[in-house]
Chain A
């Protein structure tokens, strides 16, 4: 094996992912403030306009934002893809996603046709352009093939379906009614966005980052080969069954199949964490454990809905899956990825300027453990109390969750700002040192 076609020049500058990573926590803070300023009764159903606005603020403004930034940076490193004009491309996607998400969220809250029309144009262009761009790179431009790139191919296909459905739903409100089964199409859109796109991308990236950063054995080969395509096929079969209005029994069986596949991933990852080759303290493990427990809880909830009907069940299911499942894993990955990228970019700067002896901070020095620990505790308390509030509707739980969630995402923002500042200062110091060396 040799990967000679990799070069330093094809790694995009650090500003490319940084702009996405720094924006994401601000959207999370905005989403919680929206909930705070609205009447407490908005938490009665997932169809409430404020809940729809907040949901898209989180799914597009936080989840999609981080995933977009990570993909633009990681594809060149992990798959040897050479991205053309990375700075220009990232600015366009970042601006389009930021403004489009704001337009869509406020369109839901204010029920403004103008904002829906603006969101439709901005998001269909931005996300459509992003999918075409990434799909072309992933399907035709990969230098280093691995399970992660194959997983990303399935993930990006799921994103395409999510965006097509989302765009059709937005068009429906903004311009004219073209969809008859609004509720079913919305459910299918949510299924592809959460279980399709988000879960598939997380699983594909986990194949790389769990063994790499947590020093575990690799995922079993049979799992890395078949799990992601199986989930995609199961979601496709479920979608077909819902559209064709097949018997509820078939839809239930397919739901259990999807739940089973997600449980396989969660329990395998838990198992791998118990088999770590070197058991060093690692805060991001807590984020992963919380996230895996959240995915397992949402799977159990989803399984139980086949037998019981609870008020606000759908809102609870979505909150557990997103708040307790996906978001903690994204944060756990974000800490590792940003620290690793900062270290890697500084190494590359040292190489480029031929000052290898210059001492640069390692990954643990980029992000302070004590700050990240506080941020995790605040996140865990906030997200768990929010989900409990949806069941018990207690004001103490409500206020606790709001205070903790705002603190945690502001904390995350400042931790990331601090990391970027470490990068900027060290980068400048390397340049000054190199200039001094050349003068001597």
Chain B
């Protein structure tokens, strides 16, 4: 059963946001999406995600400055869920 997990790191000081995101992505299974709320683009996070074979999409958020969606590389079900979410909320 795929899951949509939300994680708000927008008020945490470095390096807690990256630590929490990196811990959370290890729990992701096929079809799962990690939806992260952040206050700024976490540029150093992306190479680490890439190294671990995750795909991400970052966009300007509705209630938080930045929203990031992370899922396993080549996971079509999760990618479709993110596309639908982005279309629904016009992000």
Binding site for B on A (CB under 8 A): 1-4, 6-8, 10-11, 77-78, 80, 144, 208, 211-213, 215, 218, 277-278, 280, 282, 336, 340, 343-344, 347-348, 351-352, 356, 362-363
Contacts and interface: CB of A to CB of B under 8 A. Distances in A.
A215 B26 CA distance: 26
The 4 A-B residue pairs whose C-beta atoms are closest, nearest first, are A278-B11, A8-B47, A1-B58, A277-B11
A1 B47 contact: no
25 contacts: A1-B57, A1-B58, A2-B57, A2-B58, A3-B58, A6-B46, A6-B47, A7-B50, A8-B48, A8-B51, A208-B40, A211-B39, A213-B13, A215-B12, A277-B10, A277-B39, A278-B11, A278-B12, A278-B13, A280-B13, A344-B44, A348-B48, A348-B51, A351-B48, A362-B15
B52 A77 contact: no
B14 A347 contact: no
**Residue of B12, B51, B52, B57 contacting most chain A CB atoms (<10 Å):** B51
Contacts of A80: 43
A336 B12 CA distance: 15
Nearest to A11: B47
Nearest to A77: B44
Given A215-B39, A351-B48, 19 more contacts: A1-B41, A4-B50, A6-B43, A77-B43, A208-B40, A211-B39, A212-B40, A213-B13, A215-B12, A218-B40, A277-B39, A278-B11, A282-B13, A343-B15, A344-B15, A344-B44, A347-B48, A352-B51, A363-B15
A362 B18 CA distance: 11
A343 B71 CA distance: 24
Interface in B45-66: 46-48, 50-52, 56-59, 65
Contacts of A277: 10-11, 39
Nearest to B16: A362
B19 interface: yes
Contacts of B24: none
Interface residues of B, number: 27
A1 B39 CA distance: 15
A144 B13 contact: no
Contacts of A344: 15, 44
Contacts of B19: 362
Contacts of A348: 47-48, 51
Nearest to A346: B15
Contacts of A363: 14-15
Contacts of A1: 41, 57-59
Contacts of A77: 43-44
Nearest to A340: B14
B5 interface: no
A147 to B, nearest CB: 12
A208 B43 CA distance: 11
A198 to B, nearest CB: 24
Contact of A213 (B14, B43, B48, B59): B14
Contacts of A7: 47, 50
A2 B47 contact: no
B74 interface: no
Nearest to B42: A212
A38 B42 CA distance: 49
